[in-house]
A = this chain, B = another copy of it.
Amino acid sequence: METRDPNLSVVEMRVRFFETDLMGIVHHAAYLTYFEAARVEWLRRRGVTYADWARRGIHLPVVEANTRYRAPARFDDVLAIETRLTEVRSHSVRFEYRTLRGALVIAEGSTRLACVSQGAQGAEDHKLVRIPTDVKDVLSRGELPTAG
Protein backbone atom coordinates (compact mmCIF):
# COMPACT_ATOMS: atom_id res chain seq x y z
CA MET A 1 0.00 0.00 0.00
CA GLU A 2 1.37 3.40 -1.03
CA THR A 3 1.66 5.55 2.06
CA ARG A 4 4.27 8.07 0.95
CA ASP A 5 1.99 10.93 1.99
CA PRO A 6 3.38 11.69 5.48
CA ASN A 7 -0.11 12.62 6.67
CA LEU A 8 -1.63 9.28 5.72
CA SER A 9 -1.81 6.02 7.65
CA VAL A 10 -3.83 2.94 6.78
CA VAL A 11 -5.23 0.96 9.69
CA GLU A 12 -6.97 -2.39 9.35
CA MET A 13 -9.71 -3.67 11.61
CA ARG A 14 -12.21 -6.48 11.53
CA VAL A 15 -15.95 -5.94 11.98
CA ARG A 16 -17.22 -7.34 15.28
CA PHE A 17 -20.55 -9.11 15.68
CA PHE A 18 -22.07 -6.57 18.06
CA GLU A 19 -21.39 -3.78 15.55
CA THR A 20 -24.06 -5.17 13.19
CA ASP A 21 -27.76 -4.41 13.39
CA LEU A 22 -30.96 -6.16 12.35
CA MET A 23 -30.39 -5.15 8.71
CA GLY A 24 -27.44 -7.54 8.83
CA ILE A 25 -24.95 -4.73 8.20
CA VAL A 26 -22.60 -2.61 10.28
CA HIS A 27 -24.59 0.03 12.18
CA HIS A 28 -23.79 3.54 10.95
CA ALA A 29 -22.68 4.78 14.38
CA ALA A 30 -19.93 2.11 14.49
CA TYR A 31 -17.96 3.96 11.80
CA LEU A 32 -17.27 6.81 14.21
CA THR A 33 -15.65 4.28 16.54
CA TYR A 34 -13.59 2.93 13.61
CA PHE A 35 -12.40 6.43 12.75
CA GLU A 36 -11.53 6.98 16.42
CA ALA A 37 -9.51 3.77 16.70
CA ALA A 38 -7.76 4.64 13.43
CA ARG A 39 -6.79 8.10 14.77
CA VAL A 40 -5.30 6.50 17.88
CA GLU A 41 -3.19 4.24 15.65
CA TRP A 42 -2.31 7.16 13.37
CA LEU A 43 -0.77 8.88 16.40
CA ARG A 44 0.91 5.72 17.69
CA ARG A 45 2.74 5.32 14.37
CA ARG A 46 4.15 8.82 14.94
CA GLY A 47 5.39 7.88 18.39
CA VAL A 48 2.46 9.16 20.42
CA THR A 49 0.22 7.31 22.82
CA TYR A 50 -2.99 9.34 22.96
CA ALA A 51 -3.64 7.86 26.40
CA ASP A 52 -0.52 9.73 27.62
CA TRP A 53 -1.90 13.02 26.37
CA ALA A 54 -5.19 12.26 28.15
CA ARG A 55 -3.24 11.66 31.37
CA ARG A 56 -1.53 15.05 30.90
CA GLY A 57 -5.02 16.58 30.67
CA ILE A 58 -4.88 17.21 26.91
CA HIS A 59 -7.94 15.97 25.09
CA LEU A 60 -8.96 16.15 21.45
CA PRO A 61 -12.76 15.85 21.53
CA VAL A 62 -14.63 15.59 18.26
CA VAL A 63 -16.45 18.85 17.50
CA GLU A 64 -17.67 17.92 14.04
CA ALA A 65 -18.16 14.59 12.27
CA ASN A 66 -19.42 13.84 8.77
CA THR A 67 -19.86 10.44 7.14
CA ARG A 68 -21.11 9.24 3.77
CA TYR A 69 -22.00 5.58 3.61
CA ARG A 70 -21.26 4.18 0.14
CA ALA A 71 -21.77 0.43 0.56
CA PRO A 72 -22.66 -1.81 3.50
CA ALA A 73 -20.01 -3.59 5.52
CA ARG A 74 -20.77 -6.93 7.12
CA PHE A 75 -19.76 -8.98 10.14
CA ASP A 76 -16.16 -10.24 9.96
CA ASP A 77 -15.20 -8.00 7.04
CA VAL A 78 -11.63 -6.78 7.21
CA LEU A 79 -11.78 -3.03 6.61
CA ALA A 80 -8.91 -0.69 5.82
CA ILE A 81 -9.31 2.82 7.25
CA GLU A 82 -7.24 5.36 5.33
CA THR A 83 -6.71 8.19 7.81
CA ARG A 84 -5.26 11.50 6.70
CA LEU A 85 -4.54 14.70 8.60
CA THR A 86 -5.80 17.45 6.29
CA GLU A 87 -5.69 20.63 8.36
CA VAL A 88 -3.96 21.98 11.46
CA ARG A 89 -5.33 25.21 12.92
CA SER A 90 -4.34 26.95 16.14
CA HIS A 91 -7.00 25.23 18.27
CA SER A 92 -8.23 22.34 16.12
CA VAL A 93 -7.25 19.70 13.58
CA ARG A 94 -9.14 17.90 10.84
CA PHE A 95 -8.83 14.30 9.71
CA GLU A 96 -10.37 12.64 6.67
CA TYR A 97 -11.11 8.93 6.36
CA ARG A 98 -11.88 6.39 3.68
CA THR A 99 -13.06 2.94 4.70
CA LEU A 100 -12.38 0.24 2.12
CA ARG A 101 -13.01 -3.47 1.75
CA GLY A 102 -10.48 -4.41 -0.86
CA ALA A 103 -10.94 -1.80 -3.60
CA LEU A 104 -14.56 -1.02 -2.67
CA VAL A 105 -15.19 2.24 -0.81
CA ILE A 106 -17.51 1.51 2.09
CA ALA A 107 -17.60 4.91 3.79
CA GLU A 108 -15.93 8.31 3.65
CA GLY A 109 -15.84 10.82 6.43
CA SER A 110 -14.13 13.61 8.27
CA THR A 111 -13.83 14.82 11.84
CA ARG A 112 -12.67 18.08 13.36
CA LEU A 113 -11.09 17.79 16.82
CA ALA A 114 -10.64 20.69 19.20
CA CYS A 115 -7.75 20.88 21.64
CA VAL A 116 -9.09 21.03 25.18
CA SER A 117 -7.34 21.03 28.51
CA GLN A 118 -8.99 19.42 31.48
CA GLY A 119 -8.34 21.03 34.85
CA ALA A 120 -8.48 19.68 38.38
CA GLN A 121 -12.30 19.69 38.39
CA GLY A 122 -12.39 16.98 35.75
CA ALA A 123 -15.11 17.09 33.13
CA GLU A 124 -16.58 20.24 34.68
CA ASP A 125 -13.43 22.08 33.75
CA HIS A 126 -12.77 21.87 30.00
CA LYS A 127 -11.08 24.81 28.26
CA LEU A 128 -10.32 25.30 24.58
CA VAL A 129 -6.55 25.78 24.27
CA ARG A 130 -3.91 26.29 21.60
CA ILE A 131 -2.45 23.03 20.36
CA PRO A 132 0.84 22.67 22.28
CA THR A 133 3.99 22.91 20.15
CA ASP A 134 5.13 19.36 20.92
CA VAL A 135 1.73 18.06 19.81
CA LYS A 136 1.99 20.07 16.58
CA ASP A 137 5.43 18.62 15.92
CA VAL A 138 4.08 15.11 16.19
CA LEU A 139 1.27 15.90 13.77
CA SER A 140 3.64 17.02 11.02
CA ARG A 141 5.91 14.00 11.42
CA GLY A 142 5.28 11.09 9.09
CA GLU A 143 5.00 7.49 10.30
CA LEU A 144 8.08 6.43 12.20
CA PRO A 145 9.98 3.47 10.79
CA THR A 146 8.91 0.30 12.58
CA ALA A 147 11.56 -1.85 14.14
CA GLY A 148 12.21 -5.12 12.43
Contacts and interface: CB of A to CB of B under 8 A. Distances in A.
Q: Interface of chain A, helix or strand or loop or mixed? A: mixed
B16 A37 contact: yes
Q: How many copies of this kind of chain does the complex include?
A: 4
Q: Give the top 5 A-B pairs by smallest Cβ distance, nearest first.
A: A24-B123, A51-B76, A29-B32, A20-B22, A28-B62
Contacts of A25: 22, 61, 123
B123 A23 contact: yes
Interface residues of A, number: 42
Interface stretch (A1-9, A66-74, A83-91, A135-143): A66-74
Contacts of A118: 23
Interface in A4-51: 16-18, 20-25, 27-30, 32-33, 36-37, 40, 49-51
